[in-house]
Structure formats: C-alpha cells, structure tokens
Amino acid sequence: MSATKDGIAEFGLIPCYINRKGAPEPLTSYEQAKEVMNYVRPISEEEGLSIQMA
C-alpha cells in the first residue's frame, strides 16, 4: 500500500480463498485468481474506484 497526504495512492492484494479451517489460501495460478479478479473489478468500479489489475 502507498499513501500520500491526499489518501491512498496504491493498494495491492493477493487473491485467496478461505479454507475449511478459516485460513486464507493464496491462489497460485491466473486461472484460479481470475474468478476473484472478476468479482473485485465490478464492485470496485461500482464504488467509483479506479483500479488496474495485472
């Protein structure tokens, strides 16, 4: 995360699923992460957040 006096300028996340024990499990391939990215993109845009995903 990168913050300035004007607020948060940059933020990153690691796509994960929560396993049966309640612990995060990072997704290790693009195909696995694509579902999470396809969820995050529209909800971010609905809130007026400008996002870029690599």
How far CA 34 is from CA of 14, 17, 23, in Å, comes to 12, 12, 20
Tell me the pLDDT of the chain averaged across its residues.
Answer: 86
DSSP output for 3-26? EETTEEEE-----EEE-TTS-EEE
Greater model confidence, 25 or 54: 25
- Whole-structure pTM value: 0.60
pLDDT for the residue numbered 22: 97
pLDDT for the residue numbered 52: 77
